Amino acid sequence: MSYLLSEFYSSSKEIYKIKLIAGEKGLINDMTWVYLTEDIENGDFLRENELVITTGLSAGTKINWIYELIRELIYRKCSGLLINTDKYILVKDISREVIELCNSENFPLFIMPWEIHISDIMQDYCNKIFMDKYLENTLSKLFYNVIFDSQNIEKYIPLLNSNGYPTESSYYAAKIINISSPLKLQNCINLLSIKYHIFLKNNYYILILKECSKKLLNNLMKNYFEIVDNEIVLNSSILRPQIGIGEKVSSLSKLYFSYSTASYALETAKDSNKDCVYFDELGIFRILSSVSNKELLQSIYFEMLDPIIDYDRKNNTQLLKTLKVYLDFDGSIQETANFLYNHRNTINYRMKKIHGLLKKDLTSTEDKFNLRMAFYIKEYMRL
């Protein structure tokens, strides 16, 4: 669980007399913990997105101590620095170079008067973060059960209701792989003021979005992948995330369906090497997903195509692939031949063989539709 620094600042500036003096654009940074340090050499103990507090006890007469500390914090990807001023560091000791560094790097720099005890603010926010982490874990378990234990869904929904997720509201589920940390995605979501929950399951993340329009969702994906692109430019070893976005549903009780379709959309993204696939843009596959009897779909596939599947297996031929390409090119022998790098006579021979095995009229609109449907089933069920 994390706070935006903007939330920390707005809730603390009056109580703890905190003032932001630089790096305002960095208030969108996440704050996952509060850490006290007095020594630049302790940088190895710092973690990404921590808000660091210091009194400057170790600064002594070192003129550039604050500047060097901030450079180290930026390198460690800390979220900001809070200086407890007026004893070891005076406000006038904070140079213009420090201010310019924080502004250029969007690194928030706060000051807090000596009369405020560091222990008070640390205890306050460590307790809040701890309790929010507990709530986050609770919500993750509830959403997990709503998705994967739909038989007992009524046990979990009231608890989600009490945490701001009403039963009758619209929801998207998304499934995400190759994301090392969800924080950058969360920052993008926070900027768009979307209520959400994200949690890890096995080696992928599940994202739940409440009351999110398709336009807002498009903006979210655009903004997020722009950040990903910039990261990959700086570090080519970073894996590129892939996201499957499920069908929008009108109730928490249907969230399992959105997740199921998100899983299919993600598999499609992986197969087609796309960043993001929306299930509602997959056409015929939306209809196939609504068929609860998957055995029926499978039987239709084999009923239509089993003769050439069996022939290919026994003779090491490619009749199934040839038929698929032939249908894709709307029955054009020449385009099928060009695509498969075969002579048109070879394709003519194969099509005669296919016609004899299937006993179908390959010029008939109805037969071509049925065969196309069989291939859609093959793709949908990954047969």
Kindly report the CATH number assigned to the domain that includes residue 89. 3.40.1390.20
* Count of domains for the chain: 3
As beta bridge partners, residue 3 has: 31
User: What's the distance, CA 234 to chain centroid?
Assistant: 20
Q: Are residues 135 and 278 in the same domain?
A: yes
Q: Are residues 304 and 351 in the same domain?
A: yes
Is 136 inside any structural domain? yes
Residues in the chain where the model's pLDDT stays below 70: 1-2
Q: Are residues 285 and 315 in the same domain?
A: no
Task: Give me the CATH number covering residue 328.
Answer: 1.10.10.2840
Q: Are residues 88 and 155 in the same domain?
A: no
Q: What is the pLDDT of residue 11?
A: 87
Q: Are residues 108 and 146 in the same domain?
A: no
Is 271 inside any structural domain? yes
Is 124 inside any structural domain? no
Q: What is the pLDDT of residue 294?
A: 84
Is 372 inside any structural domain? yes
Q: What is the pLDDT of residue 343?
A: 93
Answering whether pTM is above 0.75, one says no
**Secondary structure of the chain: what % helix, strand, coil (to 5)?**
55, 15, 30
Indicate the burial class of 37 (C-beta count within 10 angstroms; 0-12, 13-18, 19 or more): buried
Q: Is the dihedral of CA 45, 49, 53, 59 positive or negative?
A: positive
Mark which of 73, 88, 116 sits at the end of a domain: 116
Q: What is the pLDDT of residue 1?
A: 54
Distance from C-alpha of 160 to C-alpha of 210, rounded to nearest angstrom: 12
Q: What is the pLDDT of residue 380?
A: 84
Q: Are residues 82 and 23 in the same domain?
A: yes
Are the beta carbons of 357 and 307 closer than 8 angstroms?
Answer: yes
Q: Are residues 283 and 300 in the same domain?
A: no
Q: Are residues 280 and 299 in the same domain?
A: no
Q: What is the pLDDT of residue 2?
A: 61
Residue type, 212: C
Q: Are strands 242-245 and 171-177 parallel, antiparallel or unpaired?
A: antiparallel
Q: Are residues 32 and 98 in the same domain?
A: yes
Q: Are residues 320 and 201 in the same domain?
A: no
Radius of gyration of the chain (CA): 29
Q: What is the pLDDT of residue 22?
A: 95
168: left (phi over 0), alpha (psi -120 to 50) or beta: beta
Is 123 inside any structural domain? no
Q: Are residues 275 and 333 in the same domain?
A: no
Picking from 82, 45, 49, the residue whose alpha carbon sits closest to that of residue 66 is 82
Q: What is the pLDDT of residue 353?
A: 93
Which range marks the domain in which residue 52 is found? 3-116
Distance from C-alpha of 274 to C-alpha of 240, rounded to nearest angstrom: 10
Q: Are residues 217 and 143 in the same domain?
A: yes
